[in-house]
């Protein structure tokens, strides 16, 4: 964990900047240089590489009208399966890994950084494999995390306005864990609605778990919202941004001061590392209690 936390503090890519795949990505962070889906061995990240090579097999990675990115999984022969790199995408929230997408600009021209994304769902679509045989391909629907800020208001027409708040911490946790389960679904506006609703499920649980006090400094929330609830912000401990779906073990409810320090302070990464360990331990304990393996708190 410490090696990954140390690497994560340097895992910063600039939108639209061009990087060398070996020296800028794999040498410092590990992962396969040949695969289109490359989980890092040194940081909490999965690197995804896209380009024009898939067109010869009848598919092409693309953004739809709603800004959802359709990314085709790996596997050259036969039906694609939800294993290896494909599973790493579908489980990135559970594993606390960020998805970073790069676009190949051509041989020797480098990789343009497209951004950080969150997995929403996937579909199986007909295509042809490397030898021209019919097969089923997995197409992932990914949403840029910058479009799903957990601390901002949900855009009209996207959220489920009839969403019922959880009545207990247990119910909130069950909803949050169900929300991050890999699922089939379509892209477009349906994917945007899904990621907002599922992210809200995680947010509801985390803020209920915090019980009005910052999970970083332990101080009470600095003020109340207009509805009387304590004001805390949602922080993703394994990301540079605070948007999109993530596992409750990697999300914390924090006060604005700690939130800014973690993101922008000189030693913010150290504070974030301590927070990571604390939240992980809390969730491990909650999971043990849910399974009946631990006594009462």
In this structure, what CATH number is given to the domain that contains residue 124? 2.30.280.10
Average pLDDT for 67-73: 95
Residues 31, 165, single domain; the answer is no
- Is residue 99 within 8 Å of residue 50, measured between CB atoms? no
Within-domain flag for 293: no
Q: What contacts 24, CB < 8 A, 6 or more positions away? A: none
Q: Kindly state the average pLDDT of the residues 243-255.
A: 87
Give the pLDDT band (50/70/90) at residue 197.
Answer: confident
User: Helix, strand or coil for residue 162?
Assistant: coil
Determine phi and psi for 189, rounding to 5 degrees: -65, -30
Q: Are 91 and 198 found together in one domain?
A: no
Joined tokens for residue 105: 């600009």
Are residue 215 and residue 245 in the same domain, yes or no?
A: yes
The answer to whether residues 91 and 129 belong to one domain is: yes
Q: How far apart are CA 186 and CA 104, in angstroms?
A: 26
Strand partners, 143: 118
Q: Are 231 and 275 in contact (CB under 8 A)?
A: no
Structure tokens at 91: 């489980």
Residue 235 lies in a domain: yes
Give yes or no for a contact between 128 and 135, defined as CB atoms under 8 angstroms apart: yes
The H-or-E segment that residue 45 falls in is strand 45-50
Distance from first CA to last CA of the chain, Å, rounded? 26
Domain boundary among 145, 166, 191: 145
Residue 190 tokens read as: 């349906």
Per-residue buried b or exposed e for 217-243, using 16+ beta carbons within 10 Å of the residue's own CB:
eeeebeeeeeeeebebbbbbbbbebbb
Packed helices 268-290 and 256-264: angle between N→C axes, nearest 10 degrees: 120
β 62-63/37-39 pair status: unpaired
**Residue with more model confidence, 297 or 277:** 277
Helix axes 169-179, 268-290, angle to 10 degrees: 110
User: How does residue 5 score in pLDDT terms, banded at 50, 70 and 90?
Assistant: very low
Domain finish residue from 120, 145, 170 = 145
Taking the C-alpha atoms of 236, 242, 248 and 249 in order, what is their torsion angle to the nearest 10 degrees? -10
> Does residue 57 or residue 69 have the better pLDDT?
69
Mean pLDDT for 113-124 is: 94
Per-residue CA distances from 226 to 162, 223, 232 (Å): 20, 10, 13
pTM: 0.82
User: Domain range for residue 275?
Assistant: 146-287
| H or E element in which residue 209 lies | helix 188-210
Looking at the fold, whether 150 and 130 belong to one and the same domain comes out as no
Residue 62 lies in a domain: yes
Say which residue, 53 or 274, is predicted with more confidence: 274
Does pLDDT of 254 surpass 90? yes
What pLDDT score does 158 carry? 63
List pLDDT tens digits, range 148-191. 776 766 665 665 555 678 889 999 999 999 888 888 988 888 88
C-alpha dihedral, 125 to 184 to 37 to 197, nearest 10°? 140
Q: Work out how many domains the chain is built from and give that number.
A: 2
Interior CA angle at 33 toward 74 and 77, to 5°?
Answer: 25
- What is the spatial distance between Cα 89 and Cα 85, in angstroms, rounded to a whole number? 7
Closest CA to 214 of 236, 187, 233, 240: 233
């Amino acid at each position: 964990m410490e090696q990954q936390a140390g690497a994560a503090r340097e895992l910063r890519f600039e939108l639209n900047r061009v990087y060398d795949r070996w020296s800028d990505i794999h040498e410092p962070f590990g992962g396969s240089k040949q695969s289109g889906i490359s989980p890092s061995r040194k940081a909490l990240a999965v690197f995804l590489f896209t380009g024009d090579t898939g067109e010869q097999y009848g598919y092409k990675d693309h953004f739809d009208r709603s800004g959802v990115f359709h990314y085709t999984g790996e596997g050259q022969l036969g039906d694609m399966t939800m294993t290896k790199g494909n599973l790493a995408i579908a489980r990135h929230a559970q594993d606390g890994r960020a998805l970073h997408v790069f676009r190949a600009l051509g041989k020797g021209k480098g990789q343009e950084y497209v951004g950080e994304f969150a997995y929403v769902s996937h579909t199986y679509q007909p295509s042809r494999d490397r030898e021209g045989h019919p097969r089923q391909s997995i197409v992932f629907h990914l949403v840029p995390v910058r479009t799903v800020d957990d601390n901002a208001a949900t855009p009209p027409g996207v959220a489920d306005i009839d969403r019922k708040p959880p009545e207990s911490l247990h119910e909130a946790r069950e909803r949050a864990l169900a929300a991050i389960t890999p699922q089939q679904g379509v892209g477009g506006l349906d994917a945007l609605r899904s990621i907002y609703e599922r992210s809200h499920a995680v947010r509801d649980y985390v803020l209920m778990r915090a019980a009005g006090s910052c999970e970083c400094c332990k101080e009470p929330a600095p003020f109340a919202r207009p509805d009387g609830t304590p004001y805390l912000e949602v922080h993703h401990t394994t990301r540079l941004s605070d948007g999109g779906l993530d596992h409750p073990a990697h999300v914390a409810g924090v006060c604005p001061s700690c939130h800014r320090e973690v993101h922008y302070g000189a030693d913010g990464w150290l504070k974030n590392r301590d927070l990571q360990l604390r939240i992980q331990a809390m969730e491990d304990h909650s999971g043990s209690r849910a399974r009946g393996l631990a006594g009462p708190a």
